[in-house]
Amino acid sequence: MDFTFRDEHEMLRQTVKEFVDAELRPIAARIDREHRIPREILFKLRDMGCLGIPFPEEYGGAGLGETGLCVFMEEITRGCFSTAVVCGGHTSIGATAIYLAGSDEQKRRYLPDLCEGKKWAAYALTEPQSGSDAGNMQVTAVRDGDAWLLNGSKIWITNGDFADVIVTFCATDRSQGTRGITAFIVDTATPGFSVGKPEEKMGQCGSTTVEIHFANVRVPERNLLGKVGEGFKVAMMTLDRGRLTLGANCLGAAKEALDVSIRYANERIAFGKPIAEQPAIQQMLADCATEIFAMESLLYRTAWMCDQGLPISRESAIVKLFCSEALDRVVDRAVQIHGGYGYSKEYAVERMYRDSRVNRLYEGTSEIQRLVIARSLIKKGGY
């Protein structure tokens, strides 16, 4: 097993790191405060070729696979979690659903524009009464001649207020539960589509999260994504990869929290010496580093497996579970190391603390990840 980085991955990491250091990290606090990512930041990421990193070159991508996407997401999150979430909603679940389940015609019709940033994507699965319980989906799609009519509402949709294309999951036969769910590619310029107000969130405030509504939205048959009744399979296949990149977000955020804590511990003087010399602080730093090493190892081993075409459902659930929970422990220690200043908006760790909590909720709660892992073990009869 060789999950080392290719030269192209290292070049990507350095390019994104330089961008983050020069342009993104300096404005991260303003992004959080104003609840808005400057459009020029997204345009620069587009111009850098960062929106199609994992996809094959034939569809306009960079051909760097899931490993490349994880490298990008790790580094961009070190600068601003909100910006990483916008990119993830676009690439790692929105466009990825089309790449994994789309026909060649659909891929050629949508992916080049998505990779180039001419269009933006989103992914719409969650509903008010259908979060972890996807079988209780209420948004419906009813066949109408050579098209489908979509009705209902989705919530917590990242990029939903500006996306041009939204992969949407609908109940086409409620009696079948998850086997009655079908996926569609919805162009948001279609009459009947509308956007609700942005949610007021604890963290990741620069990334807009909205409710979206369908009122007899007419979707042509050619925008059916996969087969009728196989939408749940499409959703889970996509989330397997989305959970990997979310793990990369958590890794980047954890590394950033540790680095700012080390700097603070070296600068903060108490009892006549830097607090970095205090054993209690050293123990917290060591625990953070240990968890980060485990996060990094889990993440890139699984990304390598994904790029080899190996099954990763259990492994991506492990990555998502461990990395999201480890990040919370790391940022909690970071706040503790900063003392009272860690509770102040003047210091970045306050924002990191708020940004981290939702990772244990979206793209499958920690409890759902444990179910996925346990059921895999039971079905296999062992590890």
Mean pLDDT of 80-105: 98
**Does one domain contain both 102 and 221?**
no
pTM of the model: 0.97
C-alpha dihedral over 164, 168, 172, 176, to 10 degrees? 170
What letter does residue 214 receive in the DSSP assignment? Answer: E
State the pLDDT at residue 124.
98
- Position with higher pLDDT, 280 vs 131: 280
d(CA 383, CA 369) in angstroms, rounded, equals 16
Condensed to tens digits (0 to 9), the pLDDT of residues 197-226 reads 899 999 999 999 999 999 999 999 999 999
- Residue 134 above 90 pLDDT? no
| Phi, psi (deg, nearest 5) at residue 346 | -65, -25
Pick the closest to residue 96 from 193, 237, 205, 229 (CA basis). Answer: 237
> What is the mean pLDDT of the segment spanning 304-324?
97
The answer to the question of residue 14 being in a domain is yes
Residues 27 and 110 reside in one and the same domain: yes
363 catalytic residue (yes or no): yes
Q: Using one digit for the tens of pLDDT, what is the confidence trace for 352-373?
A: 999 999 999 999 999 999 999 9
Residue of 200, 277, 363, 367 with catalytic role: 363
274, part of any domain: yes
Q: What is the pLDDT of residues 139-191, one digit of tens each?
A: 999 999 999 999 999 999 999 999 999 999 999 999 999 999 999 999 999 99
* pLDDT tens per residue across span 315-326: 999 999 999 999
Instruction: Kindly state whether residue 203 falls inside one of the protein's structural domains.
Output: yes
Residue 220 phi/psi, 5° resolution?
-65, 155
Residues 266 and 183 grouped into a single domain? no
Q: Do the domain assignments include residue 1? A: no
Q: What is the CATH number of the domain that holds 144?
A: 2.40.110.10
Rounded distance, CA 39 to CA 116, Å? 15
Q: Is residue 2 part of a domain?
A: no
% the chain with pLDDT above 90: 96
Please indicate, yes or no, if residue 338 is contained in any of the structural domains. yes
Average of per-residue pLDDT across 73-89: 98
**DSSP character at residue 188:** T
27 and 147 inside one domain? no
pLDDT range class, residue 130, cuts 50, 70, 90: confident
Give the residue among 211, 210, 242 at the shortest CA–CA distance from 97: 242
Is pLDDT at 91 greater than 80 in this prediction?
Answer: yes
**What average pLDDT score do residues 257-272 get?**
97
**CB-count exposure of residue 229 (10 Å: 0-12, 13-18, 19+):** middle
Beta-strand relationship, 121-124 and 165-171: parallel
Instruction: Identify the pLDDT of residue 260.
Output: 98
Over residues 123-150, mean pLDDT = 93
Q: Write down the pLDDT at residue 122.
A: 98
How confident is the model at residue 360, as a pLDDT? 97
The answer to whether residue 324 sits within a structural domain is: yes
| CATH number, position 28 | 1.10.540.10
Judge whether residue 2 has pLDDT over 80.
no
Q: How many domains does the chain have?
A: 3
Taking the C-alpha atoms of residue 284 and residue 280, their distance in angstroms, rounded to an integer, is: 7
pLDDT at 176: 93
Mean pLDDT of 233-237: 97
Q: At 339, is the pLDDT very low, low, confident or very high (cuts 50, 70, 90)?
A: very high
User: Does position 24 have pLDDT exceeding 90, yes or no?
Assistant: yes
Residue 177, phi-psi category: left (phi > 0), alpha (psi -120 to 50), beta (remainder): left
Residues 271 and 362 in one domain: yes
Which amino acid is residue 345, in one-letter code? Answer: K
**In terms of residue numbers, what domain contains 57?**
7-120
Q: Are residues 197 and 59 in the same domain?
A: no
Cα dihedral 84, 90, 95, 96 sign: positive
Say whether both 169 and 39 belong to one domain: no
Same domain? For 244 and 351 the reply is yes
- pLDDT for res 1: 63
Please identify, among 81, 103, 120, the residue that sits at the C-terminal boundary of a domain. 120
**Helix (H) / strand (E) containing 249:** helix 231-267
Q: At a CB cut-off of 8 Å and minimum separation 6, what does 270 contact?
A: 278
Distance between start and end Cα atoms, the chain: 18
Domain boundary among 120, 148, 178: 120
Q: pLDDT confidence of 135, banded at 50, 70, 90?
A: confident
Q: Are residues 238 and 364 in the same domain?
A: yes
Final residue before a domain boundary, out of 102, 120, 138: 120
**Shared domain check, 237 and 371:** yes
| 191 and 263 co-located in one domain | no
Residue 302 resides in a domain = yes
Q: Report the CATH number that the domain containing residue 266 is assigned in CATH.
A: 1.20.140.10
Same domain, 114 and 126: no
Least confident of 4-8, 25-29, 245-249, 337-341: 4-8
340 alpha carbon, distance to own chain's centre: 31
| pLDDT in the model for residue 371 | 97
Q: Calculate the average pLDDT of the chain.
A: 97
